[in-house]
Amino acid sequence: MPVKKKVQDTHNSAELKSLHLSMVSLASVMNRPRNDEMLIQAAGLKLDQALFRLLVMIERVGPIGVVDLADRLGRDYTTISRQVAKLASMELVTRRGNPEDRRIREASIAPKGKDMTDRLDAARERIGREIFASWSAQDVSELVRLMAKFAGALESREREP
């Protein structure tokens, strides 16, 4: 006996495909080096693009170890380790041992680095205001709420064994 497909299942499949396409497009735009450069320039900073995402990630989720940081950024930990050392030499991050596991050295944002990420956030907000200029406040709030919910669901799924 053939299994009857529900119209709802077909609809969900099409929506999930559309969502995936939107996420691919979003990731593509966010991964373009010229967009990082424009944001760095809009913030009035002199910062190597290779260090930009690293600095922001450390500020957002630090203190964080190099292996975890490399995993989150999808990069080799030896490269990340060298870049964290460079950020530390520029006094943008500090490094310390993990109190629970002395084998791990964690990076945390330093005051000079926090100033930079604050300037990046201000530039990002100006750009966001331009992007959302024609959106209603309710639409923006709904997007923020749903993106946070989606990101949380993805992260909790990733933590499952």
**Contacts of range 115-119, beta carbons closer than 8 Å, 24 or more positions apart:** 116/43, 116/45, 116/47, 116/55, 116/92, 117/55, 117/56, 117/59, 119/43, 119/44, 119/45
pLDDT band for 8, please (50, 70, 90 cuts): low
Nearest CA among 68, 71, 67, 73 for reference residue 51: 73
In a domain, 1, yes or no: no
How many domains would you assign to the chain?
1
Higher-confidence position of 8 and 121: 121
Q: What is the pLDDT of residue 24?
A: 93
Residue 94, phi then psi, degrees to nearest 5: -115, 155
Cβ contacts of 22 within 8 Å, gap of 6 or more: none
Evaluate whether 138 touches 132 at the Cβ level (below 8 Å). Answer: no
Task: Please give the model's pTM, rounded to 2 decimal places.
Answer: 0.79
Evaluate whether 93 touches 84 at the Cβ level (below 8 Å). Answer: yes
In a domain, 2, yes or no: no
> Given CA atoms 159, 49, 30, 133 in this order, what sign does their dihedral have?
positive
What mean pLDDT do residues 75-79 have?
92
pLDDT band for 10, please (50, 70, 90 cuts): low
Q: What is the pLDDT of residue 13?
A: 84
In a domain, 82, yes or no: yes
Q: CATH number, domain at 61?
A: 1.10.10.10
In a domain, 15, yes or no: yes
Q: How far apart are CA 10 and CA 155, in angstroms?
A: 26
Q: What is the pLDDT of residue 14?
A: 86
Helix (H, G, I), strand (E, B) or coil at 109: strand
In a domain, 37, yes or no: yes
Q: Which domain holds residue 85?
A: 7-159
What's the mean per-residue pLDDT of the chain?
89
- pLDDT tens across 16-61, in order? 899 999 999 998 988 888 988 999 999 999 998 889 999 999 999 9
Q: How is residue 20 written in tokens?
A: 């995936």
In a domain, 20, yes or no: yes
In a domain, 27, yes or no: yes
